[in-house]
A = this chain, B = another copy of it.
């Protein structure tokens, strides 16, 4: 594919969403009312459904909220709404205004342990690529990451340690587009606490992620341990409108 970014189709609802974002930034405060959907139809010359698609998107992002019969309003200002977008460590840090780096602690070809084989649903003992890295934000240790990838996904020889793992997976047709995450609290052991620079036994957040490709193939099992004093999860939840 020699062409770069030729077309980049402009979606109408994106145009509307962008316009609303600008409007909010320029002249609205939290809990101020947005123009009505019918006003927006006229303003942008689009159908109601297109306006609603834009509103749905912004609502998903937590920027606005709608009240049936009353209007649509600017959401309460929240420092940074941690949405449930799937991000790489680097993207996550960039979003938080930090510079990500990493130090490779180990990279090896290993046989799938019981945990790894069950999680990735591959036979016990299948060859896997194991990558262990210390992750830093602005140069300070933030997390320890253990990633397991089945041999069929990426071989240890093909792995380039200086490039984004997610981009390499994408290039190989194994883009992670969906993941299941579990968040736990653990007490750090001696080795991990030393790496992160905190006392033995300090509480930390452990995030286990099982990533799958569009096809539903499980391509990644990542276990990341974050320093609790420097990392937390923040997100917005909403009640189902219908019941109770």
Contact = CB atoms under 8 A, between A and B. Distances in A.
B178 A65 contact: yes
Nearest to A73: B216
A60 B202 CA distance: 35
Interface in A40-95: 49, 65, 67, 70, 73, 75-76, 78, 81, 84-86, 91
Q: Count the copies.
A: 2
Given A185-B185, A185-B203, A187-B201, A179 B215 contact: no
Instruction: Give the most central of A67, A81, A183: most B CB within 10 Å.
Output: A183
Given A182-B232, A233-B233, 17 more contacts: A30-B216, A73-B216, A75-B216, A76-B180, A76-B210, A76-B212, A85-B237, A85-B238, A85-B239, A85-B240, A91-B244, A177-B238, A178-B237, A182-B234, A183-B233, A187-B187, A203-B204
